[in-house]
Copies of this chain bind each other. A is one copy, B any other.
Amino acid sequence: MDEKSRLLILVTNDDGISAKGLMHLVDCVKDKGDVVVVAPDHPQSGMSSAITVGAPLHITAHPDQHGARVFSVSGTPVDCVKLAMHSILSRHPDLILSGINHGSNSGTAITYSGTMGAVMEGCMNGIQSIGFSLLHHSLKADFSMSTRIVVDIIDKTLEHPLPFWTALNVNIPALVVPKGARVCRAARGHWSEEYERYTDPQGNPFYWLTGRFVNDEPQATDTDEYWLGEKFASVVPVTPDQTLDSAIPALSNIYDIN
């Protein structure tokens, strides 16, 4: 197979270039094409779709790992995708994979997720894009039981390309071989008890984010939170277009101003 007919696969994440989940994802796809890793040079959890607008960015080339070319970028996950396409890759990739995240991006966590920020950036550029997250925060999390589901979902995407402006947010239960996978919607919820308050040695208060996700739909059986509880991987189709088209007619009656 010549170079042009081989798949070009970009792998990124938000936990940074040293995260264990990143290389597990590379291992899942290294036989499927040419894999290039472009990941943040330090952890970028919670960075959502942030971009670096007022500062320079640096690209560092690293030795190949697990058969992949490896680069780090001094910015956010979205910066990694943008710079990869602008300055590292010879052409747009066929597939962008982000993760495997150390920790959940189910429910409304997607809003803050740097893992999914990278996915949304790929999707907006017309590239098949999937984010993977394991429900285990530890740096030493065991990703081995996620391999089959990750590979299956990637294979299905290669066989049946995702619709226009549609990407996937895949969450995977931890410490278990998933029973399977279910396509579902993200559970709506909120965060509670969000900050710990401290006092510094000079007597000034400071605050540190904490808190936990509260599922506001605990009875629903069609959400990612439900299926993860059942030990299935959740596959949520997502779109970068945040317009609520269904609200346009009713709101036009209120807000159209002449």
Write the residues of chain A forming the contact surface with B, with a CB cutoff of 8 angstroms: 43, 45-59, 78-79, 82-83, 86-87, 108, 110-112, 117, 120-121, 124-125, 149, 152-153, 156, 160, 162-163, 165-166, 168, 179-186, 188, 190-191, 194-195, 197-198, 204-209, 233, 235-245, 247-248, 250-252, 254-258
Contacts and interface: CB of A to CB of B under 8 A. Distances in A.
Given A87-B195, A194-B82, A124 B108 contact: yes
A49 B111 contact: yes
Given A56-B206, A188-B241, 15 more contacts: A48-B50, A48-B117, A51-B112, A51-B209, A55-B208, A56-B198, A58-B207, A162-B251, A166-B247, A168-B255, A186-B241, A186-B242, A235-B255, A239-B242, A242-B242
A62 to B, nearest CB: 15
A227 to B, nearest CB: 10
B46 A52 contact: yes
Given A50-B47, A82-B195, A235 B206 contact: no
Name A's interface SS. mixed
**How many copies are assembled?**
2
18 contacts: A46-B51, A47-B48, A49-B49, A50-B112, A56-B198, A56-B206, A59-B205, A83-B195, A86-B207, A153-B255, A163-B250, A179-B258, A181-B255, A182-B256, A237-B247, A237-B251, A238-B244, A239-B244
Contacts of A257: 149, 152-153, 180-181, 233
